[in-house]
């Protein structure tokens, strides 16, 4: 079919530059080991922090929900697609997060989009960390408010932007709780101090902190003892929670406003019963099986120390996201390919996801990995590093 020639040209260009990527299908369930291209490899690239994608309690809850309620809801939440279980889950989430209310969206991506695009007008300003997630950037693009970007986790830069923003009605500071490419944590205590000084609101996107940081995985706000001082917490149900979805934990006022104005909430069908039931069971698992989070952090310490002992640079990570900094984009992909030959699946991340020359292998260990698997993975990193003369 004609009409797509200009797109094909761009794709060909990407192939020439080596930035064109094929999707890599798994031939097994997600887990610490997965099957790819007929080969069993150690998985170090998933966001399945606690191994909940195949936790028996979540699977049981999902199967029961299908049998009792079917596979779909047949409507958006605001017309005929709100099930009692959707509301019960939101109440459970709000209690878990120590907030007045919680509202679930179809994904973390649409949560950011829905919140940012609806609550800000031309009277307001958003002040955003330069390394925030694409869904925050897109949410901001949809608003008519003034937009200011501060240097990554730089409090002097944030203060300058706040100083320039005094005339606006609502000043909203927005930041990732954990930054997904470097694994560093936003300096929330300092951000809260500044926000309180300037009368600004704070929105934290805890996609990589939900189930990972804070008591029972409540996130970065709880981790820093800041419950009640951050206005909007966004979380995902798609990473450590193991299923699918996003939520905002906030005030009753913002929840009610989003039910009327949050466009993805209004115009996209609600979660199937299996999704909601599995997410609900996941919160019980967070509360009743804290040993999973303990194991995640033990594994993270073991693996990070092993990589550093081998001489790899793991950057500024403070979380189970451990990048192995390589530099050159092509070498980064070669290293990933070499790791695969050695039995490890760890994807390279290069420009434009990270700056040019800051290519890295991003690893995430999970609670499911055994010490033996991690030891095996470290040996693979050593062999691949030697093959490419990186050590
Ligand atoms: C993954 C991610 C999202 C999107 O979450 P989904 O539930 O996968 O849509 C949003 N924000 C950040 C910071 C993320 O890492």
Query: How buried is residue 196: exposed, middle or buried, by Cβ count under 10 Å (0-12/13-18/19+)?
Result: exposed
Q: Is 166 strand, coil or helix?
A: coil
Which entry of 55, 208, 271, 358 is annotated as an active-site residue? 208
Q: What is the DSSP letter of 99?
A: S
Q: How far is CA 153 from the centre of its chain?
A: 18
Angle made by CA atoms 220, 225, 231, in degrees to the nearest 5: 65
Report whether 378 contacts 306 (CB < 8 A): yes
Pairing of strands 39-43, 33-36: antiparallel
Q: Show the tokens assigned to 183.
A: 């694994």
75 is catalytic: no
239 labelled catalytic: yes
CB 173 within 8 A of CB 203: yes
**Residue-level length of the chain:** 391
- Per DSSP, what are the bridge partners of residue 129? 150
Taking the CA of residue 206 as reference, the ligand 1 atom at the shortest distance is 13
pLDDT of 110: 98
**pLDDT tens for each residue of 167-218:** 999 999 999 999 999 999 999 999 999 999 999 999 999 999 999 999 999 9
Other CB atoms within 10 Å distance of the CB of residue 370: 13
Measured in Å, residue 236 CA sits from the centre of ligand 1 at 6
pLDDT, tens digit (0-9, with 9 covering 90-100), for 224-233 = 999 999 999 9
* Interval between CA 280 and ligand 1 midpoint (Å): 19
Can 180 be counted among the known catalytic residues? Answer: yes
User: Quick one: pLDDT at residue 20?
Assistant: 84
Inter-helix orientation angle 291-310/371-387, to 10°: 20
Q: For residues 57 and 282, what is the distance between their CA atoms, to the nearest angstrom?
A: 8
Is ligand 1 within 6 A of the CB of residue 109? Answer: yes
Which two structure tokens, joined as six digits, stand for 86? 């959707």
Asked if residues 324 and 314 have their Cβ atoms less than 8 Å apart, the reply is yes
Tokens coding 48: 């399945």
Give the Cα separation of 315 and 324 in Å (integer).
Answer: 7
3-state secondary structure of 51: coil
3-class state of residue 178 by DSSP: strand
How far apart CA 133 and CA 356 sit, in angstroms, is 18
Which residue's CA lies nearest to atom 1 of ligand 1? Answer: 207
Task: Please list, in sequence order, all residues whose beta carbon lies within 8 angstroms of the beta carbon of residue 200, skipping any fewer than 6 positions away.
Answer: 127, 162, 165, 171, 172, 173, 194
The pTM for the full model equals 0.96
Find out whether 135 and 112 touch, Cβ atoms under 8 Å. yes
Spatial distance between the Cα atoms of 174 and 187, rounded to a whole number of angstroms: 12
- As averages over each run of 10 residues, the pLDDT of the chain (391 residues) reads 97 88 95 98 98 98 98 98 98 98 98 97 97 97 97 98 98 98 97 98 98 98 98 98 98 98 97 98 98 98 98 97 95 95 96 90 98 98 96 88
Q: Is the CB of 220 under 6 A from ligand 1?
A: no
How many other C-beta atoms can be found within 10 angstroms of the C-beta atom of residue 301? 12
What pLDDT score does 352 carry? 84
Closest residue by CA, ligand 1 atom 6: 108
| DSSP assignment string, 4-45 | -HHHHHHHHHHHHHT--------SS-SSSEEEETTEEEEE-S
Q: Name the residue among 286, 280, 288, 320 with its Cα closest to residue 218.
A: 286
For ligand 1, say whether the CB of 363 is within 6 Å of any of its atoms.
no
- DSSP states along 199-233: T-EEEEE-TTTTTTSSGGG--HHHHTT-TTS-SEE
């Amino acid at each position: 079919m004609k009409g797509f020639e200009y797109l094909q040209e761009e794709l060909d260009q990407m192939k020439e530059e080596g930035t064109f990527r094929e999707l890599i299908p798994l031939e097994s369930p997600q887990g610490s080991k997965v099957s790819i291209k007929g080969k069993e490899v150690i998985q170090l690239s998933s966001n399945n922090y606690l191994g909940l994608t195949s936790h028996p309690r979540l699977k049981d809850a999902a199967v029961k929900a299908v049998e009792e309620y079917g596979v779909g809801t047949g409507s958006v939440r605001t017309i005929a697609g709100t099930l009692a279980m959707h509301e019960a889950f939101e109440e459970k989430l709000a209690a878990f997060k120590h907030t007045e209310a919680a509202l679930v969206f179809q994904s973390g991506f649409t949560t950011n989009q829905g919140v940012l695009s609806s609550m800000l007008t031309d009277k307001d300003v958003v002040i955003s960390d330069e390394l925030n997630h694409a869904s925050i950037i897109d949410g901001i693009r949809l608003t008519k408010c003034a937009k200011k970007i501060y240097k990554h986790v730089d409090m002097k830069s944030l203060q300058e932007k706040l100083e320039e923003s005094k005339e606006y009605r609502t000043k909203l500071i927005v930041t990732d709780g954990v930054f997904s490419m470097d694994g560093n944590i936003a300096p929330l205590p300092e951000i809260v101090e500044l926000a309180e000084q300037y009368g600004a609101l704070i929105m934290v996107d805890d996609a990589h902190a939900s189930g990972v940081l804070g008591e029972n995985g409540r996130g970065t706000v709880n981790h820093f003892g800041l419950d009640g001082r951050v206005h909007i917490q966004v979380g995902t149900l798609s990473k450590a929670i193991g299923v699918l979805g996003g939520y905002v934990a906030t005030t009753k006022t913002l929840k009610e406003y989003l039910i009327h104005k949050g466009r993805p909430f209004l115009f996209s069908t609600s979660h199937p019963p299996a999704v909601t039931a599995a997410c609900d069971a996941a919160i019980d698992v967070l509360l009743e099986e804290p040993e999973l989070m303990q194991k995640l952090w033990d594994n993270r310490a073991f693996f990070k120390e092993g990589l550093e002992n081998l001489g790899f640079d793991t950057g500024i990570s403070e979380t189970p996201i451990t990048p192995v900094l390589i530099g050159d984009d092509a070498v980064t992909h070669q290293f990933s390919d070499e790791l695969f030959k050695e039995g490890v699946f760890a994807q390279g991340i290069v420009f434009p996801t990270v700056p040019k020359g800051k290519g890295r292998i991003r690893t995430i260990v999970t609670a499911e990995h055994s010490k033996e698997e991690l030891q095996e993975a470290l040996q693979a990193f050593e062999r691949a590093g030697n093959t490419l003369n990186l050590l």
